[in-house]
Amino acid sequence: MAERVAIILAAGISIRMNTDIPKVLHEICGRPMLSYVLDACREAGVAEIYVVVGYGAEQVRERFGDAEDIIWVHQAEQKGTAHAVLCCKEHLGNFEGETLVLCGDGPLVRAEMLKTLIEKHGAETAVTLATAVLDDPAGYGRIVRDADGNIQGIVEHKDCTTEQLSIKEVNPSYYLFNNKILFEALDKVKPGNVKKEYYLTDVLSIIIAAGHKVVAITAVRPEEAMSVNNRTQLSEISEIMQQRLKIKNAKLKIQEG
């Protein structure tokens, strides 16, 4: 098996998109949003990608059926992000390497950012996550640090205290785990939150409580923290992607000229 793999969470139902199309198949600049996350992983050197599907699973598989580096994992019942990752245990439970965990509805992720995450992940580190600082952090999980700046955990927006809601450093859901430690912690996650779901963010608190090293680096640009939950966000991200493509094409013309 590869030294490093990726898990992409792509099982969600697109309720707020007002369509039956699986969320990760909604298109941005003519391509399904999931394709951008896959490409970022590949460009960062990931050879094996586990894509967790649920709602509309067959449609997603069919759209990416030619990809030889994808291993499909089915999440029959959507019980949260930790549960989605746990569905990969059959494949990765004994894997000794590193595992990237990303969301399929975050198409603005850059390969360069993933490479930074990988470079900053030391041999003794259990988890390295990339964070962003936003002027308006509403809706995002907050990064809670101690007085020395060490990460203490992540609190989802709906579970935040009034004080925690004022925190501007947020979690865009870009993680790199020591895989063995990840799956040991996943077995201990409980649905003790407002939505009664199994949150992947709770894994961080479990790993920290066990005495493992967790590092949070502020490496995500504000626009890269955006994910798609509704058509307005889909439109906003499409505009950002169009600008990226224009800049990319302009650079290629300069190189060719």
C-alpha–C-alpha distance, residues 17 and 56, integer Å: 14
Residue 51 in any domain: the answer is yes
217, part of any domain: no
Asked if 214 and 207 touch (Cβ cutoff 8 Å), the reply is yes
Quote the strand ranges of the chain, DSSP E. Answer: 4-10, 27-28, 31-32, 48-53, 70-74, 98-103, 125-133, 141-145, 151-155, 169-178, 213-218
Query: Residue 133 falls within a domain, yes or no?
Result: no
pLDDT tens digit string along 126-137? Answer: 999 999 999 999
CATH code, domain carrying 87: 3.90.550.10
Position 238 in a domain: yes
- What's the number of domains the chain is made of? 1
Q: What is the CB neighbour count within 10 angstroms for residue 127?
A: 23
> Residue 232 falls within a domain, yes or no?
yes
- Global confidence as pTM: 0.93
* Full residue range of the structural domain in which residue 44 is found: 4-116+172-210+228-256
Say whether 221 is catalytic: no
Beta bridge partners of 108: none
- pLDDT band, very low/low/confident/very high, at 197 (cuts 50, 70, 90): confident
Q: Is residue 222 situated within a structural domain?
A: no
Which residue has tokens 């090293």? 213
Inside any domain, residue 149: no
Structure tokens at 228: 């798609």
Q: What is the pLDDT of residues 7-24, one digit of tens each?
A: 999 998 777 787 889 999
**Catalytic-role residue among 4, 16, 31, 221:** 16
